[in-house]
């Protein structure tokens, strides 16, 4: 006799997802801001726009974690990639001067593993708390045959708010402005396809110790969230002319995105204290200097572009907060491009 089909038999267990979500509901509520006026139990979250001078603008950004997820899945360590997801989205939203307001996540998998799902969501909650944004909602999709049974993918969506007269879009950048870099926490979430290829080619396993360091810890170190430093600068009323999140493309590929015509960025790479992981990967993979700088952040996760008159104040403020600002270089008149050690 032919068996009858139901959703669970076809590989999708809706009740399991609802049970897991009920376990983490209080964690999700811990990210709430006063502007949240509806829980995420319904079809959509509701967020009241904060009162702003000028015309309030919504700023949206979306991203994922990329093939760093393959390392987390291979090592069965899932607690940090959720924070990576928040960081990659929130840091982009900061770059136009927006205050991160709320976050949405999308979790897709072949078969829902409650432990893995809770671990990932725990990282997302941690990231939202650090970024100061509400986890307003999300979607969990169990899709057999689309993903391997123990595989999953993530996408995130951050929305921020900024008054129109406070938007930072690079148009005010001009020759003489200074570049201040903020250290990254390591690889962040970019370049992992090359990282994995280098390690595989050398027969190096993710859980090995190399040069006295735990490779596992380094590879899964979460992307730094810069919302706190951003708010510090805003409270000090230091006018920023540009903010750059250093992701895929490195310093050259991201600085160019904010430069107006007639402005050239000159970056002194020897001012950057390069973390050991980048030096290790360059040596093991025989990667050229230019390829390293155009693929990885090389130790710089965010760049502020400011008028020289605010340089001392900004550096002093950052150092008071335990930051280690990097004086990267300056903007000069010339062809719109980024020159390393030019």
Neighbours of 285 (CB within 10 A): 17
Q: pLDDT tens digit string along 255-304?
A: 999 999 999 999 999 999 999 999 999 999 999 999 999 999 999 999 99
Neighbours of 286 (CB within 10 A): 9
> Lowest-pLDDT range, 44-58, 73-87, 204-218?
44-58
List beta partners, residue 240.
306
pLDDT exceeds cutoff 90 at 103: yes
Q: pLDDT tens digit string along 12-43?
A: 666 766 776 777 778 888 888 878 886 656 66
Q: Quote the pLDDT of residue 4.
A: 64
% the chain with pLDDT above 70: 92
**Given the DSSP bridges, would you call strands 240-245 and 134-142 parallel, antiparallel or unpaired?**
unpaired
**Given the DSSP bridges, would you call strands 99-109 and 134-142 parallel, antiparallel or unpaired?**
parallel
Q: Quote the pLDDT of residue 9.
A: 55
CATH number assigned to the domain covering 14-166: 3.30.1330.10
Average model confidence (pLDDT) across the chain: 92
pLDDT exceeds cutoff 70 at 54: yes
DSSP label at residue 191: S
Q: Quote the pLDDT of residue 83.
A: 98
Q: CA 110 to CA 198: how far, in whole Å?
A: 28
Per CATH, 14-166 and 178-340 having the same topology is answered: no
Q: Is CATH 3.90.650.10 the classification given to domain 178-340?
A: yes
Burial class of residue 26 in the structure, from the number of CB atoms within 10 Å of its CB (0-12 exposed, 13-18 middle, 19+ buried): exposed
Neighbours of 257 (CB within 10 A): 13
Segment 113-130 shows an average pLDDT of 96
**Angle of the 68-75 helix axis to the 81-94 helix axis, nearest 10:** 160
Specify whether the CB–CB gap between 268 and 329 falls below 8 A: yes
Consecutive H or E run containing 181: strand 178-183
Q: Which residues contact 296 (CB under 8 A, 6 or more apart)?
A: 187, 190, 191, 250, 278, 281
pTM: 0.91
Segment 211-232 shows an average pLDDT of 97
- Name the phi and psi angles at 173, rounded to 5: -65, 135
User: Pick from 164, 314, 310: which is nearest to 229 by CA?
Assistant: 314
| Residue 150, both tokens | 């123990």
List beta partners, residue 6.
none
Segment 139-160 shows an average pLDDT of 92
pLDDT exceeds cutoff 70 at 5: no
Q: CA 65 to CA 61: how far, in whole Å?
A: 14
Domain range summary for the chain, segments of one domain joined by + = 14-166, 178-340
Q: Quote the pLDDT of residue 35.
A: 81
């Amino acid at each position: 006799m032919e068996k009858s089909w139901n959703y669970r038999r076809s590989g999708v267990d809706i009740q399991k997802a609802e049970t897991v979500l009920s376990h983490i509901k209080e964690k999700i509520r811990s990210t709430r801001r006063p502007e949240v006026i509806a829980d995420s139990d319904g079809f959509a979250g509701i967020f009241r726009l904060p009162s702003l001078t000028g015309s309030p603008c919504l700023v949206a950004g979306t991203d994922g974690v990329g093939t760093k997820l393959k390392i987390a899945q291979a090592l069965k360590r899932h607690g940090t990639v959720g924070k990576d997801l928040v960081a990659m989205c929130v840091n982009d939203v900061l770059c136009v001067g927006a205050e991160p307001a709320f976050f949405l996540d999308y979790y897709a998998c072949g078969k829902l593993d409650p432990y893995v799902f809770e671990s990932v969501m725990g990282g997302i909650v941690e990231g939202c708390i650090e970024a100061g944004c509400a986890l307003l909602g999300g979607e969990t999709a169990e899709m057999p045959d689309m993903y391997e049974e123990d595989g999953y993918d993530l996408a995130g969506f951050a929305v921020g708010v900024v008054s129109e007269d406070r938007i930072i879009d690079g148009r005010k950048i001009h020759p003489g402005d200074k570049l201040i870099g903020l250290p990254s926490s390591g690889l962040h979430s970019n370049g992992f396809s090359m990282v994995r290829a280098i390690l595989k080619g050398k027969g190096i396993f993710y859980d090995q110790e190399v040069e006295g360091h735990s490779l596992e810890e380094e590879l899964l170190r979460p992307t730094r969230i810069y919302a706190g430093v951003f708010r510090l600068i805003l409270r000090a009323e230091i006018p920023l002319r540009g903010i750059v999140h250093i992701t895929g493309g490195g310093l050259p590929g991201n600085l160019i995105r904010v430069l107006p015509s007639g402005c050239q960025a000159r970056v002194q790479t020897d001012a950057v204290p390069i973390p050991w992981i980048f030096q290790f990967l360059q040596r093991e993979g025989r990667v050229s200097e230019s390829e390293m700088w155009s693929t990885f952040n090389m130790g710089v996760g965010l760049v502020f572009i400011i008028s020289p008159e605010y340089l001392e104040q900004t550096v002093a403020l950052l150092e008071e907060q335990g930051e280690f600002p990097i004086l990267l270089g300056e903007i000069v008149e010339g062809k719109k491009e980024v020159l390393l050690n030019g």
